């Protein structure tokens, strides 16, 4: 399992460059800033967001939970199920961090863009 972790949230300047980089790569913001630090999906092993989805719009691909926007009906059950607040709405469908798994980036865009160095990739750990 791969996820993005915050090493030291108190060091975050709240500049938002991670969100800008996410939007640049994906065409929409899959992460957000809350309380001056980024909120990213921690890729829970039990994936409450995926388990709550009644239409099967959330699946796991190579250990990363992915929302299929074509199947999402915008019911927001996944948002309610996520204890980290990592799922949010973009228009009428839910979005969340995918660790840039579907991009050509070697490292997630948010990690590469963070001037504060607070974001890191984590392998095979529970949140």
Structure tokens of 68? 């299929």
Pairing status of strand 2-6 against strand 119-123: antiparallel
40/56 Cα distance (integer angstroms) = 21
What confidence tens digit (pLDDT) does each residue in 25-39 have?
999 999 999 888 899
CATH for 80? 3.30.70.20
pLDDT tens, residue by residue, 53-77: 999 999 999 889 999 999 999 999 9
For the chain, what percentages of helix, strand and coil (3-state, to nearest 5) are there? 20, 25, 55
- What pLDDT is attached to residue 36? 86
Please state the domain count of the chain: 1
Q: Which domain, by its residues, includes 66?
A: 2-123
pLDDT recorded at residue 125 = 53
């Amino acid at each position: 399992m791969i996820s993005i972790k915050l090493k030291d949230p108190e060091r975050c300047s709240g500049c938002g460059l991670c969100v800008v980089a996410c939007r640049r790569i994906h065409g929409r913001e899959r992460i957000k800033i809350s309380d001056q630090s980024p909120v990213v999906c921690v890729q829970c092993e039990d994936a409450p967001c995926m388990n709550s989805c009644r239409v099967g719009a959330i699946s796991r691909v190579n250990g990363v939970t992915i929302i299929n926007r074509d199947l999402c009906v915008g019911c927001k059950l996944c948002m309610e199920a996520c204890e980290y607040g990592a799922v949010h709405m973009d228009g009428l469908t839910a979005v969340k961090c995918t660790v840039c798994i579907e991009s050509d980036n070697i490292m997630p865009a948010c990690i590469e863009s963070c001037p504060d160095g607070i974001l890191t990739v984590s392998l095979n750990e529970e949140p």
